[in-house]
């Protein structure tokens, strides 16, 4: 009779495997990060040329972004965007962080400038529509040239009534811009407060 030899199982340290698994990001996490980098690449491609020059990019990424901007074919552009994503995965965390910060700064500055231009346009409309808006504007901006402002408003109203090209309408925009200096939304708030006082 043959004797059966019992094979002893090799003890396996499951905790070591678990530690390794915890350290490695999951496939879905890697995929999310890859898509986020690709989206960042798309943001770079869509930036205006002057803003793109200010982005802190290594040469290979800058070249890839410039190439993507030149490609007009949809499929070709899609492949180039994927390539930009691959290039971005080779960047360090610091480089990616610097890029994100620069993009956010650009968007913030751009938003503030857009808000200021909207405020100037609204102010121009108010000045042309209501005489009391001019008084409120002068109170809020005592350094403004009142005589020039009055003349521009009168001429802008006249050219609108006569259907002429908006020369004084544009000049009034520039006058408001220089008279209000670096102000924008703050000036808008103070003008609205003054409007409330004049209505009262």
Q: What is the pLDDT of residues 38-87, one digit of tens each?
A: 888 888 888 888 888 888 989 999 999 999 999 999 899 989 988 988 89
Largest CA distance in the chain: 122
Question: At 29, is the secondary structure helix, strand, or coil?
Answer: helix
192: pLDDT strictly greater than 70: no
158: pLDDT strictly greater than 50: yes
pLDDT of residue 191: 40
pLDDT of residue 70: 92
Record the pTM: 0.49
Distance CA(87)–CA(81), nearest Å, equals: 10
pLDDT mean over 136-151: 91
99: pLDDT strictly greater than 60: yes
Distance CA(31)–CA(41), nearest Å, equals: 15
Distance CA(26)–CA(125), nearest Å, equals: 56
CB atoms within 10 A of CB 67: 15
* Inter-residue contact 55 to 69 (CB < 8 Å): no
Least confident segment among 118-127, 154-163, 183-192: 183-192
Distance CA(126)–CA(134), nearest Å, equals: 8
Tokens found for residue 123: 């102010």
pLDDT of residue 148: 93
Q: At what angle do helices 27-46 and 74-89 cross, to 10 degrees?
A: 120
Question: H or E element: which one contains 114?
Answer: helix 93-129
pLDDT of residue 198: 39
pLDDT of residue 184: 46
* Inter-residue contact 26 to 82 (CB < 8 Å): no
pLDDT of residue 9: 59
- Alpha carbons within 13 A on the beta-carbon side of 60: 9
Q: What does pLDDT average to over the chain? A: 80
């Amino acid at each position: 009779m043959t004797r059966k030899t019992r094979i002893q199982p090799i003890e396996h340290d499951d905790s070591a495997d678990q530690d390794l698994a915890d350290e490695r990001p999951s496939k879905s996490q890697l995929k999310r990060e890859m898509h986020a980098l690709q989206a960042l690449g798309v943001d770079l491609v869509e930036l205006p040329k002057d803003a793109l020059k200010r982005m802190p990019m290594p040469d290979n990424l800058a070249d890839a972004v410039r190439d993507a901007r030149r490609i007009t074919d949809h499929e070709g552009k899609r492949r180039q965007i994927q390539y930009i994503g691959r290039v971005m995965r080779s960047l360090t965390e610091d480089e990616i962080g610097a890029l994100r910060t620069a993009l956010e700064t650009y968007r913030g500055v751009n938003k503030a400038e857009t808000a200021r231009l909207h405020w100037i346009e609204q102010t121009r409309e108010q000045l042309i529509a209501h005489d009391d808006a001019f008084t409120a504007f002068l109170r809020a901006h005592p350094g403004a040239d009142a005589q020039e402002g009055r003349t521009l408003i009168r001429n802008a109203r006249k050219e609108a009534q006569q259907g002429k090209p908006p020369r004084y309408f544009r000049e009034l925009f520039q006058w408001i811009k220089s008279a209000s200096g670096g102000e924008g939304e703050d000036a808008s708030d103070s003008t609205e407060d003054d409007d409330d006082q004049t209505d009262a």
